[in-house]
Amino acid sequence: MKRIATIAILGLAGMMFFPSCKKDYKCTCTWTVGGQQQSATVDLKKMSKKDAKAACEGNSGQYSAFTGVSCSLN
């Protein structure tokens, strides 16, 4: 029983001390211009998922002149 508890504690400690995995993500934004749907994809390099999601949501501001802007992380 002590062995299982020790392994569990070491596992949790390891998760806390190792940085989150940084990967490449794509952010795709779509919007409507004159009744036609447009889209753009932005590469987000070497980011944690949390940072990539925040950056992707921030991209919608670049297209604020258009209606129906929606950005999603791929």
Contact call for residues 69 and 58 (beta carbons, < 8 A)? no
Helix (H) or strand (E) holding 3: helix 2-17
Residues 36-73: pLDDT tens digits? 999 999 999 999 999 999 999 887 777 777 778 899 99
Residues 16-34: pLDDT tens digits? 555 568 999 999 999 988 8
Q: Which domain holds residue 46?
A: 21-73
Specify if 43 maps to a domain. Answer: yes
Q: What is the DSSP letter of 18?
A: S
Indicate the pTM of the whole model: 0.65
Q: Report the domain count for the chain.
A: 1
CA nearest to 55, candidates 67, 38, 43: 43
Specify if 13 maps to a domain. Answer: no
Please give the angle made by the CA atoms of 5, 10 and 15, to the nearest 5 degrees: 130
Helix (H) or strand (E) holding 52: helix 49-59
Specify if 16 maps to a domain. Answer: no
